[in-house]
Structure 1
């Protein structure tokens, strides 16, 4: 019967069966269980040593874990640990168990998340170096089956060690004052969190991350603030804010609201990471996202962040808009990298796209539709749509401001042009033949963002006031070249200078787009046409 069950289990997910079979050996099981029990014992011994020691009535004990108060001793008023009718120190066992619960939860959750990331990155990196991952791609298993097998199989010993600590953690949480429903919800959050960080680890490795230690460090940097958020959401004393925080909904009013919001956020991230995972696994040479997916993800992220923006407790100000524009900068640049096709793909599209036009005579070929939705076409028009989605989200919020609406809209237009400029620059460099063009594209965009503020700060251009007099052109250049400067100083821009600044930005963007299109068109010419053109020029 056991053999039949194992066969069924192996047929359901062969990858998971393979991983478990290679790891759940007696020596590994003993090491995982013994390590977990040892950590629990050390935690208990540490907190046992923190309890007050009864040194007799003549010596006044004062300890964090005893009930303290004023009492009369030898005719003097003293303050320290109180005693019960039997003369024993009154220990606050609920507080003691609560701190044990917090310690075990921190160690277990932190070790779980970091351990999952470290082991998955290391395993997938080894698979890619040996070439076995490409061999697995040839199997009839789906990407979901393979990656689920990896996620649940590779860190199985970590899961086992954490599971061994659950009984003591559950007992300490109940003794510390938590309800059983709180403990169960914490396990749900921990499980979803583990799956989210495991998906991140698989995605990191699939995108080329080869160093397990680097993945562990990145994971630790992400895990720490996330764990703070999780533990705050379960603290009945901290999570008491009646004001609306997200779309005017008081998600911090009750712990359950915060916990459900954390769960929903994790599920949202998991959905999009798996969209990239499945696409990347089946089409390694394709873009990370289709253009349609980039539009949906962009709108989703901006609506998510916009929920916090519209719920700001104070009257919105231009400086608030500067922060949220920075969010759009990160999102748009990442989406640009996610939808920009590889050079060879663009070459094939430019050379053979006319076959798409002739292959289906019943359906009229549309270049605009191809640029908007095609996976092999250039991403210039898609970047324009993503910038429009980002700026449209913030513009809808700005229209409800009580003041500075016009200034904010003016600043957003200039910010939108800068986003297009950065995206066009990245696309242009990614088109080059340089072997490390991804690094060069990232460096060029970073320089475009970081160098102008340094230059203008050195020359102290920011002190000038654009009043339309025609004497302060350097200040205009500062506002249209430094990201966010137009938002913090847009009230100083006259209509003339605003139009001139936009015209200068559009001219730069158009120049890069025209140059890129010219190069793409030249590459798209057939070898015969290039040869004929060369002979005509020689004649």
Structure 2
């Protein structure tokens, strides 16, 4: 009942959001989405828990480091899910609208183009947002237990949100200009995003900044922020981020924006 009231209130603000949410928020779809999110988190915790040394061996467990591991894996899964799956959902939705002939109908409605596109951005990936939302409590707790500052965590969320906005906007543009590809356009667009994220994540993981002209491409991958949040993300400090980096060391064209932001924050 509360969910229906929320959807109705959003519909008054943006009819396109109401249209998208009404089609997505079926009880069966919501239950499946929540189950996938919760079960996925449980399986990840079990897998990471198996890496813990046994107490019988007398080993001392570094719990903050383990929670940092949880934080990083949740962040990576969230980044890839939001950008890749969200891109696929948006392009696929536009393709279906075009095949059904309802896209032209939307153009004839009194809604502004900003309202229609904004409704698409908010409504089409709604189930994906729901799945990520159910993972946020664990992500937040992992950050706190991993001794990551709240202001740095907020910065990560802002970067991730900005990346989603940029990627989703490009997905809508690609979906509108590549109609001739038919149903293949969603796979092509999301596949391109997946390959880009995979390559740039490997670059960030292995080298960070390589001082080549292509370094600016990594700025479109939110993963670039993770090394500045933590010193390492595994039980072996040298396995992923061989060079320790602090958020205060973050620079932009030589300007110490990390240190400046940290000073302004307190």
TM-score band by shorter chain is: 0.7 to 0.9
Tell me if the contact between 1:234 and 1:255 (Cα under 8 Å) persists in the aligned partners. Answer: no
CA distance in 2, matches of 1:13, 1:38: 33
CA distance in 1, matches of 2:154, 2:87: 24
In the alignment, which residue of structure 1 is the partner of 2:74? Answer: 104
Measured after TM superposition, the shift of residue 234 of structure 1 is 3.0
CA distance in 1, matches of 2:5, 2:127: 24
Measured after TM superposition, the shift of residue 189 of structure 1 is 1.9
In the alignment, which residue of structure 1 is the partner of 2:27? Answer: 26
Q: Deviations over 1:118-173 (max 9, x none)?
A: 00000001112222111110111001100111111111000000000000111011
Tell me if the contact between 1:233 and 1:255 (Cα under 8 Å) persists in the aligned partners. Answer: no
CA distance in 1, matches of 2:223, 2:162: 16
| Secondary structure of 2:55's aligned partner | coil
Q: CA RMSD in A?
A: 2.6
In the alignment, which residue of structure 2 is the partner of 1:212? Answer: 186
Query: Which 5+ residue runs of structure 1 have no aligned equivalent?
Result: 56-60, 62-82, 84-88, 258-539
Measured after TM superposition, the shift of residue 227 of structure 1 is 3.6
In the alignment, which residue of structure 1 is the partner of 2:64? Answer: 94
Q: Deviations over 1:95-127 (max 9, x none)?
A: 111101111111112111111100000000111
Match of 1:130 among 93, 96, 100: 100
Tell me if the contact between 1:239 and 1:255 (Cα under 8 Å) persists in the aligned partners. Answer: no
Match of 1:250 among 245, 249, 256: 256
Measured after TM superposition, the shift of residue 7 of structure 1 is 4.9
CA distance in 2, matches of 1:152, 1:39: 24
Query: Which 5+ residue runs of structure 2 have no aligned equivalent?
Result: 201-220, 232-243
CA distance in 1, matches of 2:42, 2:7: 35
TM-score (norm 2): 0.76
Q: Deviations over 1:260-286 (max 9, x none)?
A: xxxxxxxxxxxxxxxxxxxxxxxxxxx
CA distance in 2, matches of 1:192, 1:19: 22
Number of residue equivalences: 224
Whose RCO is larger (CA < 8 A, sep 6+)?
2
Match of 1:238 among 237, 245, 263: 245
Tell me if the contact between 2:250 and 2:259 (Cα under 8 Å) persists in the aligned partners. Answer: no
CA distance in 2, matches of 1:140, 1:121: 23
CA distance in 1, matches of 2:250, 2:127: 43
Match of 2:171 among 180, 191, 201: 201
